[in-house]
Structure 1
Amino acid sequence: MSHLFQPLSIGELRLPNRIVVAPMCQYSALDGSAGDWHMVHLGHLALSGAGLLVVEATAVSPEGRISPQDLGLYDAGNEAALGRVVAAIRAQSPIALGVQLSHAGRKASSRAPWEGGAQIGPRAPGGWQTFAPSALPHADGEEPPVALDRQGLAKVRQDFVAAARRAARLGFDAIELHAAHGYLLHQFLSPLSNRRDDAYGGSLANRMRFPLEVFEDVRSAFPAGKPVWARVSATDWVPGGWDLEATLRFAEALGARGCAAIHVSSGGVSPAQKIPLGPGYQVPFAQRVKADTGLPTIAVGLITEPEQAEAIVAGGQADAVALARAMLYDPRWPWHAAAKLGAQVFAPRQYWRCQPREHQHLFEGASFGQR
């Protein structure tokens, strides 16, 4: 029996299998609002058979967007637009829905990847002033961010709370707090980007303070019976930066505050990173977090083959696997994995007749008579 297709509970959220569609930025929103692209894109992935679909990094404020085209959840228009997408998915698929709440910090005001991804300066058309723990630019030659003062910190916390309440009203099953990939909460954690000399900088405890405060605020603003977890970068891949031992401390602190799981990624805070890419290169980090903290973990990063995913879960390296690019390349990846591993998976009844003859029991509940 396949371990990958066994149910998994994250808090009170029960998933039918351990495949997660990772949040993937689409850079296709208008003033933060989801449009027809999101309806087609997310609707397509909702029919994949995965247990959980996490909506892309969703900014909690206009200045928290990575790009001018980033998805947001900071006003009534954003909420209504995303609500249209959520309602359509709910009507057609039983997949669990999460949303990743994010603030890009100093990596905000950037062009979309297909436009080069460079910073848009605050005086350039479409650009804005960015904010961060310290007035340190992400890369040489970029405009430095403004260091957040007490009032700025309070506003960020309020923005996360407001977005979490919007997510609750939209009926999301879970929230993933984005504390990875060099965005604002990761910027507070890493000594490479946080040079503050107040209660939010210096020691590890101080650098963790603001991300933990934000987590507590989001946890309090979201229904108690629905899980909130965090995505973390286990290492900066830069000497003297954030590392695995600090990640373990952070994960323990999150767990003590009601964090339901840890989604373990890496990198993103510095262009100086040296990442040894290879199949499943981040899985050992997830394994260590799981072993040391006891928290459920989601592994991500160059997990592409069903047998590879099965081995990760069966070997206890992680409780679930998240796929991003592999899911874009093959949006029916869970179907194909179930076929290879002898499991069953959800598919809409309109698709039941596509079952290969050698896998006639692939789709749950499928019965398609001939006429």
Structure 2
Amino acid sequence: MSQLFTPITLRDVTVRNRVWVAPMCQYSAVDGVPNDWHLVHLGSLARGGAGLVIAEASAVVPEGRISPEDTGLWNDEQQAAWARIVEFVHGQGATAGIQLAHAGRKASTVGLTGGRGAVADADGGWRPVGPSAEPFPGLREDPEPLDLAGIQRVVTAFGDAAERALAAGFDVLEVHAAHGYLLHEFLSPLSNHRDDEYGGSFDNRVRLVLEVVREVRSRVPAGVPVLVRLSATDWVEGGWSADETVRLSALLREEGVDLIDTSSGGNVPADIPLEPGYQVPFARRIRAEAGIPSGAVGLITEPKHAEEILTEGSADVVLLARELLRDPHWPLRAARELGETGDALWPAQYRRAAR
């Protein structure tokens, strides 16, 4: 059996293989409620043989959405809509996960319609929040720095959303602390200019992430895996660094995090050296130096490459994003290319094509 198709167990959850679906925003919700598009999108990925299907960044509060069309998990209607989707994902043999998120200063952004940029209040936008008043270039110019009470509300909201996720049937939770959204904004000196206990030193800048994880961990049973997505570097001098990521990953391990989903960038404009597997070295360092399982993501498109990442010990799982948009049945193709026999991954309705 290939490493890619070996099951992996985190706490009480066993995932059927190590091809995982990375969260991908669809910008297709109304008032944060997922709909038929999300059912078909996520359902097709589960049907296609992925092990863990992680639903898109879903805001823990309305103002935490990236765009007005983002999904959320702050009310009963959203919870019920997610439950329908989770049931279908489970019916295809896949494990269901969701990424809990707050967009911070990158909120109130145009989704699929009207190009890119900020959404004005008159068009349904809102004033975003962040660690400091500095905006993200090209987006809303008026982020409001969170006060201590606001920070506590964010922490509580992540815990509330975690409880709702479990009630909807999700098996795995991921805290989004990457790509320049709120938790990453607190981590990076390039976006965090605070002079209180949440700014300045490394210990202060990681405080919010640790508090959020502690809250989420305290709200869910011990058997539920909690993942964290981190941007391993800002790719800019003086920003959040790979060394700091390793330090934080070790702290997250102590807080009960089960795996680091390793990405990079997104907090400030940067020149990123894109090539297949360009983020794999960060996942390798986290796994080796922080002593916590890691996931590799980023321009991984070929089954043999994905298999090599696991066999060489660079990561424990591989997460795919755009490649699965191009080919939702990538896991089925990968299994065949890697010499996996049998048709257990194939839906019964499709097994005539497995031979």
For 1:113 and 1:260, the matched residues in 2 are separated by: 33
Map 1:1-371; keep pairs closer than 5 Å: 1-90=1-90, 92-113=91-112, 115-121=114-120, 123-139=121-137, 142-271=140-269, 273-344=270-341, 345-356=344-355
Percent of residue pairs bearing the same amino acid type = 53
| TM-score normalised by L of structure 2 | 0.97
Query: What secondary structure is seen at the aligned counterpart in 2 of 1:247?
Result: helix
1: distance between equivalents of 2:89 and 2:50?
13
Q: Distance in 1 between matches of 2:66 and 2:99?
A: 13
Alpha-carbon deviations, 1:252-288, whole Å to 9, x = none?
A: 11001000010000000002x1100000000000001
Give the residue type in structure 2 aligned to 1:224.
A
Residue 241 of structure 1 and its aligned partner are, at CA, apart by: 0.2
SS at match of 2:174: strand
Mapped partners of 1:14, 1:82: distance in 2: 21
Distance 2:293 2:142 in 1: 37
Change (3 A) 1:141 1:348: closer
The code of the aligned residue for 1:230 comes to V
> Which amino acid is 1:153 matched to?
I
In structure 1, C-alpha distance between the alignment counterparts of 2:140 and 2:79, rounded to whole Å: 32
TM-score of the two chains, using structure 1 as the length reference: 0.93
Q: Which amino acid aligns with 2:50?
A: A
Distance 1:183 1:44 in 2: 28
Query: Which residues of structure 1 form unaligned runs of 5+?
Result: 357-371
In 2, distance between residues paired with 1:124 and 1:316? 51
- Look up the match of 1:369: none
RMSD: 1.2
Deviation readout 1:14-43 (Å, 9 max, x if unpaired) = 112111011100000010001111111111
Greater gyration radius: 1
8 Å Cα contact 1:168/1:223 also seen in 2: no
Unaligned 5+ residue runs, structure 2?
Answer: none
**What does the per-residue CA deviation read over 1:281-331, in whole Å, with 9 as the maximum and x for residues that have no partner?**
000000010010121110000000001001100110101100000001011
Moved over 6 A (4+): none
In structure 1, C-alpha distance between the alignment counterparts of 2:140 and 2:349, rounded to whole Å: 51
1:286 and 1:60 map into 2 onto residues whose CA distance is 27
Is contact 1:10–1:296 with CA below 8 Å preserved after alignment?
A: no
Alignment CA distance shift 1:243-1:114 (3 Å): farther
User: How big is each residue's C-alpha offset from its partner over 1:203-225, in whole Å with a ceiling of 9 and x where there is no partner?
Assistant: 00000001100010011112211
